[in-house]
Chains A and B, each alone.
Chain A
């Protein structure tokens, strides 16, 4: 019973973290149709930067701002500088994001070294809460709350604000929006920034659970990929649903069938892609 309960709780909190990790990834795809395979590398840099700030100053708010801000700005620069040349050519875009991720991951290895780094949660989020049979880390409860807040915030931004209307119009028909007088390029800067910021902050949030080490970037990218593909590329509610499916199945698989872990995560995604290539919540493309 307690194993079951802790598996469910672990699964939910992991789902929350997955949603936070996949946020920036699904945003870039949703608005710009960019499959950003450098997402994991951006996460990695966010994690290292945040860890450096925390060990230097102990200030978590500053860590969030540095991780999100630096990664966000770097993403804007990289996006505007590199991707303008290949825009509209999906495959070359994807290749470019892979290339960038190779460079970033190796540069991180050069700068921060190959030793695993642990990051602690801030003081007020340490410790455990008691749920009769099991004790559950407070930080994980915090992640669940944060995921709900971020999910709602993104939904509100896209569906209820004027920037959101611009973004939706841009998804509908980018060329039309531009020829009505909207500076779509500047809108894209905003999206690059937001995607990078989310990836960087996810680095901090995730490193408290997973720690940081070389190779984490690939794992994170794959988790984001599975979540987003399961749910439907570019769909916010899809990312939430995908996170739940992957989070829970991951949590149960590690307990009950550790050897088959990857089959249990990737298997459903592959089957789904055959039956329903657009994902659970994706629109018919």
Chain B
């Protein structure tokens, strides 16, 4: 959707930073792990929600940043997992974890079915199909009353026995999300990730190299759906409740906003976007009912002025800073990674994120 910034990608693969980054990751993990001991209940809850909604956004980003398509039905797959768990626990009286396993299988199957429908679609057609898929699931949740309990939703989904307190759930969610994020990281850096990126960036070259674009789109969509399912299982465990609103297109839109707000080019951008959105929401909702209006306005601003999201804005601000004070950064200037373009005269240059500036 947006161009990958060369500075960002190269920084991630930069060998000299490996150790420093590893240390940073460990420290962050430790801080996040002990955090609930020092936080109020309310903030523990907020962080927990950021974990699983952030995972949902990151799973969508598999499609956005690798295969370069935007799904607006992603909350549907998330909701399928939540519903299967809810039905499994309340109706079939399965243990939570067993229901979760069933939910993952079902979500995987639905994702595969949906993936078959999108392998040939691009751009706007893709968006429309995913909207329709999301609405199909929403319609099922709302209308198929005998199974889903319709608009009343399903209540009373208890998490597994070993989770007693909010802090317990926090740690469980943290562990699941951390493992999932690590798996997604492996995907992004793997050869499979490179091929998925190829499908998004230069499908004709993929074909000429002998790879099937359709197959890779199928894989990407299925993986994205599975991780959305993981997020959905955490969701229903946390709230103990699921209703058609969970998989409504409006919810999918907010997930998409989290991705573009955070910045799809950065691996953790969607998590950042989710954190910003959910935190802002806790401030806004007590004050005014106009949350949707704010989401919309935020989205307009993001699309118009932050084509690479907050992460992109930070990155370019950082690049500007390091260019001005090279010794502060102590590293090579990011300019070296830019493709060799002709020297532009001052005043006629474009912002780097918007090469497609309109002419009319």
B18 within 8 A of A: no
- Chain B contacts of A229 at CB under 8 A? 128, 132
| Minimum CB distance partner of B1 in chain A | A91
Type the 1/0 row for B285-296, where 1 means its CB is closer than 8 Å to any CB of A.
000011111011
> Within the assembled complex, what's the spacing in Å between the Cα atoms of A276 and B70?
21
Scan residues 57-106 of chain A and give those whose CB is less than 8 A from a CB of chain B. 82, 84-92, 94-96, 98-106
- Chain B contacts of A158 at CB under 8 A? none
A266 within 8 A of B: yes
B316–chain A nearest beta-carbon distance, Å? 18
- Chain B contacts of A233 at CB under 8 A? 124-125
- Chain A contacts of B70 at CB under 8 A? 91, 94-95
B241–chain A nearest beta-carbon distance, Å? 20
Whether B136 pairs with A94 at a CB distance below 8 angstroms is no
Whether A110 pairs with B136 at a CB distance below 8 angstroms is no
> Residue among B72, B124, B142, B356 with the most chain A CB within 10 A?
B124
- Chain B contacts of A105 at CB under 8 A? 292
- Chain B contacts of A126 at CB under 8 A? none
A209 within 8 A of B: no
Whether A262 pairs with B358 at a CB distance below 8 angstroms is no
> Within the assembled complex, what's the spacing in Å between the Cα atoms of A266 and B142?
14
Whether A266 pairs with B132 at a CB distance below 8 angstroms is yes
A255 within 8 A of B: no
Majority SS at the chain B contact face: helix
> Residue among B133, B296, B360 with the most chain A CB within 10 A?
B296
Whether B131 pairs with A225 at a CB distance below 8 angstroms is yes
Whether B300 pairs with A262 at a CB distance below 8 angstroms is no
A270 within 8 A of B: yes
Whether B121 pairs with A269 at a CB distance below 8 angstroms is no
Instruction: Please pick, from B121, B127, B144, B146, the residue contacting A91 in the complex, using a CB distance under 8 A.
Output: B127
Whether A259 pairs with B143 at a CB distance below 8 angstroms is yes
> Within the assembled complex, what's the spacing in Å between the Cα atoms of A84 and B17?
41
Whether B121 pairs with A273 at a CB distance below 8 angstroms is yes
A261 within 8 A of B: yes
Whether A87 pairs with B292 at a CB distance below 8 angstroms is no
B303 within 8 A of A: yes
Scan residues 115-150 of chain B and give those whose CB is less than 8 A from a CB of chain A. 116-117, 120-121, 123-125, 127-129, 131-133, 135-136, 138-140, 142-146
Whether B292 pairs with A102 at a CB distance below 8 angstroms is yes
Type the 1/0 row for A250-275, where 1 means its CB is closer than 8 Å to any CB of B.
00000000111111011101100110
Whether B293 pairs with A102 at a CB distance below 8 angstroms is yes
> Within the assembled complex, what's the spacing in Å between the Cα atoms of A274 and B129?
10
Scan residues 267-309 of chain B and give those whose CB is less than 8 A from a CB of chain A. 289-293, 295-297, 299-300, 303-304, 307
Whether B116 pairs with A90 at a CB distance below 8 angstroms is no
Knowing A35-B124, A99-B296, A270-B132, the reply to whether A88 touches B304 (Cβ < 8 A) is: no
Whether A218 pairs with B293 at a CB distance below 8 angstroms is no
- Chain B contacts of A269 at CB under 8 A? 132
Instruction: Please pick, from B136, B290, B360, the residue contacting A262 in the complex, using a CB distance under 8 A.
Output: B136
B148–chain A nearest beta-carbon distance, Å? 10
A/B interface sample: 8 pairs, CB < 8 A: A82-B304, A94-B124, A98-B72, A103-B300, A109-B289, A185-B360, A259-B146, A262-B136
Query: Top 10 A-B pairs ranked by shortest CB distance?
Result: A262-B139, A102-B296, A99-B299, A103-B296, A106-B293, A106-B292, A87-B358, A266-B136, A99-B300, A99-B296
